[in-house]
Amino acid sequence: MPALLNPIPEPDLARYPSCIVCGNARLSELAGTRQMATEARHREQVFRRLVPPETPGYMLKDRAYPTQAYDARLVVCDRCGTLARDPHLSAEGSADRYARDAYHPAWLESTYREFVAAFDARMPELVRWVGPTARVLEIGSFVGGFLASAQKHGWRAEGVDVGQCVSRFARSKGLKVHEGSLEQTRFPDRTFDAVFVWFCFDQLAEPWETLREIYRVLKDDGRLLIRVPNGEFVERVQRLERWTSSDGLHERLRNLLAYSGLAGFPFQVGYTPSSLTGMLEDSGFTSVHVKNRINVRGSSSAALRLVHVGSQILDHATFGAVKWGPWIEASCTKTGHAVAGNELLTCCVA
Ligand SMILES: [Zn+2]
């Protein structure tokens, strides 16, 4: 069985001297290392209960055993509310860890089928947004589920991913995947009609640089869609957890985080609807729209209902303070003028 806390060599870890989004130096502790470890154990138990007991641990990778399960606390920016795992993976540490991340062949096949089906359901909406004959790029193409579905719906799709195992698997499905980071791939200016980042924006150690590169490779009026875990949701749920004395409510809130994939916060950064919007606008994108997304991978319909209903109850019970669900998607358009750049904030990144 995989270890819950995966040790990471010290040189691969770093600390933010200030918020990666707004540059504010005041970062407060939202959850200590002990709470994060307790949440991670709860997440493992929750997903173990959903599958037959003989299910091997490798089939629960990501859901019960995420890549980012090392010992860390969670901090929140006092100004913009963005969350960050502390310590976080350095750019080199992150690339190295995801490059070597290995998955069992049975897990790859079942996840591929699951993702193709999920994206097949989304494609009509995406084709209406981007257009029927488009050249698109996915950053962090993972097992290739989106690329396969996009091709099936008439797009020329290619991906970039640092992961050797998942890139090899996606290529075995006949998909075009460049192994490495977006910056290393060096696409020509204005290559793509749309860029999608479904799985990895929250893992990027240098997100401002990636946004600048996305801007460069997009055609004028090109579209960008980013999905991330909602840091605001995590913060509000954790504060409610501390406030309540009801064991029943406490258990439901903890399950809400676990089923949403957010327990133990296995991500580097928890953007909020407003901090992500501001970042995209500062990077030269316009018409930014943020939407809720329920993202309950491979769980039962009961778990999906719990997250859906739980999010709505939180909205009402807090008089709208928790109006956003556990995951958010931001869609936006590249403007025709040059990017404003953000040298000061870039320098703040450890
Ligand atoms: Zn901030």
**Is pLDDT of 64 > 90?**
no
6 or 268, higher pLDDT: 268
Tokens of 341: 């750049």
pLDDT reading at 314 higher than 80: no
CA of 230 to the centre of ligand 1 (A): 14
> Whole-number mean pLDDT of the chain?
83
Higher per-residue pLDDT: 50 or 172: 172
CA 57–ligand 1 middle distance (angstroms): 37
DSSP one-letter string for 244-281: ---HHHHHHHHHHHHHTT-TT--SSEE--HHHHHHHHH
CATH architecture of 98-347: 3-Layer(aba) Sandwich (3.40)
Domain boundaries, the chain: 98-347
Q: pLDDT, tens digit, for every residue of 183-239?
A: 999 999 999 999 999 989 999 989 999 999 999 999 999 999 999 999 999 998 888
Lowest mean pLDDT among 67-81, 172-186, 221-235: 67-81
- Tell me, what's the pLDDT at 340? 44
In this structure, which residues have their CB less than 5 angstroms from ion ligand 1? 19, 21-22, 24, 77, 79-80, 82
Determine the pLDDT at residue 81: 96
pLDDT, tens only, 5-51: 455 666 678 888 899 999 999 999 999 999 999 988 888 887 777 77
Strand, coil or helix: 38: helix
Q: Which position has the higher pLDDT, 32 or 317? A: 32
Instruction: For residue 24, report the distance from its CA to the centre of ligand 1, in Å.
Output: 5
Q: At what angle do helices 301-317 and 247-259 cross, to 10 degrees?
A: 120
